[in-house]
Amino acid sequence: MNHDDRAAATFGAHIAQNPYPGRGLVIGRCESGDFLILYWIMGRSDNSRNRRFIVDGTTLRTEPIDLSKVEDPSLIIYEAMLELPDIQLVSNGDQTRTLCDVLADGGSFDGALQTREREPDAPNYTPRISGMLDFRNTRPEISLSILKASPFDPEQTDRFTFRPAMPATGCGVGLTTYQGDGNPLPSYAGDPLVLPLHGTPAAIVDRYFDALDEGNRIAVAAKHISETGACLDLVVRNRRA
């Protein structure tokens, strides 16, 4: 099975046929050779569904649609994509800001996340997933992380960092928060997913949005990044305006 077939099979099984992979991120390369960071959010509760993506320059953040209906903003309102010179960041929570601040101070990806834990939303204990596209060295490098509850003691956090090789054009590597639906929700397990990134950034956003479960999808965004690490565009599709 070649990489395109593998990516298509994973997309079908884990995205299109999965009612609840949860939040997800993918980092890879467009067919043009440029880079792409994809991020999406899903939700089962009214509080979680009461949000959308907002683009502020090169920053992607979540925002409530109806402030009067917000129950707990702590885990649903955050900056999802931030950048520093030669560094692009994405995550499913406010650890994006932690990463940005620590890296700006000369710290490391792993060191920043060492200060964070899985989300405190028992009994799901949602994993924190994070990614970095790093242009500071000769070749761009990808780092991925998942922080999730220990199976021995959910009060403790298991920490996994992955540094996959750069994918072929038209492919990306990524993580989701969950394996699928359930009660409690089962945390994602295993190596990073290989997923497709074919077409324009807008077409990629549409493909993922259309594939995600219609009842649970909220928003999908893609940051188009040049070969030098500069943001070219940030494309968003929200379920609700």
Tens-place pLDDT, residues 43-64: 988 888 889 999 999 999 999 9
Segment 215-224 shows an average pLDDT of 97
pLDDT reading at 183 higher than 90: yes
Residue span of the structural domain in which 183 resides: 3-238
CB of 44 within 8 A of CB of 20?
yes
Query: pLDDT band at 213, cuts 50/70/90?
Result: very high
pLDDT reading at 2 higher than 90: no
Give the CATH number of the domain where residue 188 resides.
3.60.20.20
Counts of helices then strands in the chain (DSSP H, E) = 5, 13
Model pLDDT, residue 46: 82
User: What is the number of structural domains in the chain?
Assistant: 1
The shares of helix, strand and coil residues in the chain, as percent rounded to the nearest 5, are 20, 35, 45
89-140 pLDDT, tens digit each: 999 999 999 999 999 999 999 999 999 999 999 999 999 999 999 999 999 9
Query: How much is the pTM?
Result: 0.97
Cα separation, 49 vs 240, whole angstroms: 9
Side by side, the strands of the sheet bearing 193-196 are 193-196, 171-176, 24-29, 35-42, 217-225, 231-238
Mean pLDDT rounded to a whole number for the chain: 95
pLDDT reading at 241 higher than 80: no
